[in-house]
Amino acid sequence: MRATVSVPGKVSLFGEHAVVYGEPALVAAIGKRLTVSVEGRSDKLIKIAAMDLQVPGVVLTFNEESPELIVETDYGKIVGAVGYVRKAIEIVSGRLGKKGGVNVTIRSEMPVGAGLGTSAAVAVGTVAAYSLLMGEELSLSEIAHLAHQTEKAVQGLASPMDTSVATFGGILYIKPSAEPVVEKLSIARDLPMVIGYSEREFRTSDLVKKVRALREAYPDIVSSTLKSIGMISQRAKDALVSGDVESLGRLMNINHGLLDSLGVSSKSLNDMVYSARFAGAIGSKMTGAGGGGCMMALCPGREVEVSTAIRIVGGMPFRAAVSEQGLKVESIDR
């Protein structure tokens, strides 16, 4: 028996880093997907094959009873995904009170580890496909919850944002607090975007630490910047709902500069951001934790020009509109 699901990647539209300090943020599912396929085995082994379209595949096998990993090749960042698969299977097995050996195959249309939420997508996809294989249809909320538990278990700390948007799709507005507000937005029009990718030089945790250190050194300046980013998310929410694309673009430009002032942008990100504007983007900004990784450009009708501009400065462009489609069951073969 085999169950296959697909899960969207995400971009952080507004509010990255500031969300860590309680400011609102906006995250959107994109039309690039990650597919998780789970097939039953007669033994208790768990075998994971991860095929990132960007890097050669990697195949890993481990025995549920022992902590040993049998790594057949360790090439590519996708190796990191293995931890999420293993933990998701463990958590779902615990929830369902049953478990079995499986072959897990992961395919990604996006670069992995680039801030596009691939780890959350792996967690959501594994929870969904593995529970289907075990004969249980969990609710979307429960899938999102178990996937968030998975991320927390692997990373120590995780926002529920990435797993939520991967599960439900669309655009989520989140305002963190003791009782966080999460609101799914109905947006007035399509948002055709080009995403530019460059190699990441720093880890998310290091960038979060960098902002924290800057905030400690210059508390009033940096706190004010983080608050401004929160105000941008607020204004952007209104602009999304009313379909004011021009304003969204301007807010992206402002937000990029503020992130730059926090020290989380990079030469490669700035090159792509400014090239995109030069090529006619209404707005562009880095997206995610920064230190390399992805930027996005809002550029209706100028996708070709903006893609070319990003490629010229050494980035890898791909088109990815905001997508309403969240988790999708692709097939169940019995």
Is residue 63 within 8 Å of residue 45, measured between CB atoms? yes
Q: Is 258 in the site for a second copy (CB under 8 A)?
A: yes
270 binds a second copy (CB under 8 A): yes
| Nearer CB in complex with a second copy: 22/135 | 22
Under rule CB under 8 A, residue 103 binds a second copy: no
- The sheet carrying 193-198 orders its strands as 283-287, 293-298, 193-198, 316-319
CA–CA separation, 131 and 139 (whole Å): 11
Contacting residues for 205 by C-beta, under 8 A, at least 6 apart: none
Question: Has 43 been annotated as catalytic?
Answer: no
Please identify which of the residues 43, 162, 260, 333 carries the catalytic annotation: 162
Candidates 64, 90, 142, 260; binder of a second copy (CB under 8 A) is 260
CB of 309 to a second copy, least distance (A): 10
Q: Tell whether residue 236 is a contact of a second copy (CB under 8 A).
A: no
| Among 44, 70, 190, 218, contact with a second copy (rule: CB under 8 A) | 218
Q: Which residue in the set 85, 232, 281, 294 belongs to the binding site for a second copy (CB under 8 A)? A: 232
* Sole window of 19-27, 86-94, 220-228, 291-299 interacting with a second copy (rule: CB under 8 A): 220-228
Q: Which stretch binds a second copy (CB under 8 A): 11-19, 135-143, 145-153, 224-232?
A: 224-232
Residue of the chain from 95, 235, 319, 328 that contacts a second copy (CB under 8 A) = 235
Could you tell me the smallest distance in angstroms from the CB atom of residue 123 to a second copy? 33
Binding residue (CB under 8 A) for a second copy from 22, 56, 257, 314: 257
Instruction: Read off the DSSP letter of residue 162.
Output: H
Tell me the C-alpha distance between 137 and 126, whole Å: 13
Residues 315 and 307: their CA atoms lie apart, in Å, by 9
Residue located via tokens 């700390």? 157
Number of residues that bind a second copy (CB under 8 A): 36
Residue 267 as a binder of a second copy (CB under 8 A): the answer is yes
* Binding of a second copy by 224 (CB under 8 A): yes
217 binds a second copy (CB under 8 A): yes
For a second copy, the closer CB: 78 or 286: 286
- In the chain, how long is the greatest CA-to-CA distance? 61
Q: Is-contact 37 126, C-beta < 8 A?
A: no
DSSP string, 15-66: -TTGGGGT--EEEEEEEEEEEEEEEE-SSSEEEEEEEESSS--EEEEEETTS
Quote the CA–CA distance of 122 and 249 in Å, as a whole number.
31
Helix then strand count (H, E) for the chain reads 9, 13
Does 305 engage in binding with a second copy (CB under 8 A)?
A: no
Residues in contact with a second copy by CB under 8 A are 214, 217-218, 220-222, 224-225, 227-228, 231-232, 235, 247, 250-251, 253-263, 265-267, 270-271, 274-275, 277-278
Query: Could you list the active site residues?
Result: 162
